[in-house]
Amino acid sequence: MINYKEKLAAVKAFVFDFDGVMTNGDVWTLGDGQTVRCGNIKDGFAIQYAVKKGYTVAVISGATSASIDHRMHALGVTQCFTGCGDKVLTYNRFLQENGLADGQVLYMGDDLPDYPLLRRVGVSACPADAATEVKEVCDYISHHPGGRGCVRDVIEQTLRLHGQWFHQDAVIW
Assigned domain for 98 exists: yes
Phi, psi dihedral angles at 140 (to 5 degrees): -145, 135
For 43, the domain range is: 4-161
Number of structural domains in the chain: 1
Q: Does residue 167 fall inside a structural domain?
A: no
What CATH number did the domain enclosing 139 receive? 3.40.50.1000
Whether residue 171 is contained in a domain is answered as no
Cα distances from 126 to residues 49, 70, 167, 171, in angstroms, run 20, 24, 27, 31
Instruction: Render pLDDT for 28-55 as a digit per residue (tens, 0 to 9).
Output: 888 988 888 888 999 999 999 999 999 9
149 belongs to a structural domain: yes
Residue 166 domain flag: no
Q: In whole numbers, what is the pLDDT of the chain averaged over residues?
A: 93
